[in-house]
Structure 1
Amino acid sequence: MKKIISLVLCLILSGFILSGCSNSSEPFEEKSYTSDTQINGIDLAVRDREIEVSLSEDEQVHIKYYENSKEYYDISVSDENVLTIASASNKEWTDYIGRKPAAEYRKISLQIPDALLESLTLSTTNEDITLSALAVTGSINISSNGGNISFGDLDVGSALTLTVKNGDISGTIAGSYDDFSIQSEIKKGESNLPENKDSGEKTLTVSGNNGNVDIEFVNK
């Protein structure tokens, strides 16, 4: 009986210790980044972060985000002028116990110039990705595992790729239905796109698992 009581007390004490570790998380600090050179492409790959994309007013790339010494981002520009933003962390195992950061700290706001980027790649987990109406001269690739993808009029020069798991895809594409060849694979969901359409100068590739797809074409 004494052994059982001791075990229960140890478990309770451990719970208090872990709770103390998780509640003493370091506060987040608002940060910003502005490109000081012409950016040709963007590759943003993060985890558990909402991504919001809108147009820049000065033809530069701007990023607003929150970080601390435990959760932060690696930001770099390649020789080809591709801006890369990636999640990085310096967590102990106790940092994964307790509540996740508040929603405002789990959001990345990205502002990009209209019709100046050659490529735009966005990827996240467990959060949504939203884009306002914008144009890219080449391709756009968007992926969310555990969140929704929604967008305004997206205008691409060559290709649009959308991938989602446990979430929905909705939005409008600039151009006519005839402009695009289409490959669509949807599991456990409904879609208003055909599985296959061969003709079209541009390509639209859509993949969804456990979610619905509703995409319209707007011929300007």
Structure 2
Amino acid sequence: MKKSFKNILSMTVALGSVVIFTSACTSDSDSGSDSDVSYEEKSYSVEAESVKQISLSDKGRKVELEESKDNDIHITYFESDKESYDIGVSDNDELVMKLETNKEWKDYVGLQTDEEHHLVKIAVPNGITSEVKIQTSKGDIILSDLEIDGSIETITNEGKIEVTNVTANKKLKMKTKNDDINLNDVNIKDSIDATISNGNINVSNVAVGDSLKLRTKNGDITGTVIGSYDVFKILSEASKGENNLPEVKNGGDKTLDVGANNGDINLEFVK
């Protein structure tokens, strides 16, 4: 059974951890946008040691995952009278955050997105062992300056995924549509799996311990992979595009599996 917390300002002791909620009202009144809506900024904190998995299910929000300054998980977000979050730690130690909305179709007509209030920030301690799963739509997912012991999965639609200066001991999985995936200075001890439709995959100084799988449709795959050419078994295919990699190369302790449909492949190996 999931424990839900609805208090605007409360402190609760649960599962041996301290959970803290705070809130502050903000509002805008720009005509012709959803900033006419009054938003309330809220925050949620919980001890990282009490959480085995972080799961965010969102819509129309940009999500940023960054380093916490202490040993707790901190989340900041915004709610309105028509959109709120059900957030809490379940009996199996899963931190679940889910958007609940009672908006009707007319609430979206003719409105411009108020980006300031459509943002969720999650701060986690470096070395956190929790698994992380983030799912949103029509919003970017940004991960930066992190060391995570668990696995990471990010899914969005019509939003980019950007991972910068991130190290993880388990898998990194990403999926998006109608935007790009950008990986910069990423070191994953296990494997990376990136899939995209109608967008480019750009990698810069990306390292894996096991496999690197990159798939795109109507886009290019470019960048640099850390490691020598001989280290990788290679499988690659560029349909209706150019490819600087062999279609098949055997040998190597790691796997590079790359496919572009209606796009080019241009990957270089660097030390």
- By relative contact order (CA 8 Å, sep 6+), the higher-ranking structure is 1
1:189 matched to 2:219? The reply is yes
Q: Helix, strand or coil: the match of 1:35?
A: strand
Larger radius of gyration: 1
Q: Which amino acid aligns with 1:180?
A: D
CA offsets 1:167-186 (integer angstroms, 9 cap, x no match): 11112312574612122221
CA distance in 2, matches of 1:136, 1:65: 22
Q: Which amino acid aligns with 1:45?
A: S
More helix as a share of residues: 1
The 3 A distance-change label for structure 1 pair 161 and 60 is same
Aligned pairs for 1:65-80 (under 5 A) are 65-80=77-92
Give the conservation status (yes or no) of the 8 Å contact 1:45–1:122. Answer: yes
Match of 1:46 among 58, 65, 85: 58
CA distance in 2, matches of 1:120, 1:178: 19
CA distance in 1, matches of 2:257, 2:126: 22
Hey, what does 2:97 align to over in structure 1? 85
CA distance in 1, matches of 2:181, 2:169: 20
CA distance in 1, matches of 2:170, 2:266: 21
CA distance in 2, matches of 1:79, 1:94: 38
CA offsets 1:65-118 (integer angstroms, 9 cap, x no match): 111120111112122221111111012343233314411111111111111133
1:96 matched to 2:108? The reply is yes
CA distance in 2, matches of 1:213, 1:107: 33
CA offsets 1:13-50 (integer angstroms, 9 cap, x no match): xxxxxxx9x97954111111111562222111211100
Give the conservation status (yes or no) of the 8 Å contact 1:33–1:64. Answer: yes
1:174 matched to 2:187? The reply is yes
Q: Unpaired segments of 5 or more residues in structure 1?
A: 1-19
Percentage of identical aligned residues: 33
Q: Give the paired residue count.
A: 198
The 3 A distance-change label for structure 1 pair 35 and 89 is same
Hey, what does 2:169 align to over in structure 1? 157
Q: Which amino acid aligns with 2:46?
A: S
TM-score where L is the length of structure 1: 0.74
The CA deviation at 1:209 is 8.9
CA offsets 1:121-155 (integer angstroms, 9 cap, x no match): 11111111111121221211111210111122222
The CA deviation at 1:159 is 0.8
Match of 2:43 among 18, 32, 43: 32
Give the conservation status (yes or no) of the 8 Å contact 1:173–1:218. Answer: no
The 3 A distance-change label for structure 1 pair 93 and 184 is closer
Q: Which amino acid aligns with 1:187?
A: K
The 3 A distance-change label for structure 1 pair 131 and 191 is same
Is the deviation greater in 210-219 or in 118-127? Answer: 210-219
More strand as a share of residues: 2
Q: Which amino acid aligns with 1:90?
A: N
Q: Helix, strand or coil: the match of 2:127?
A: coil
Give the conservation status (yes or no) of the 8 Å contact 2:221–2:260. Answer: no
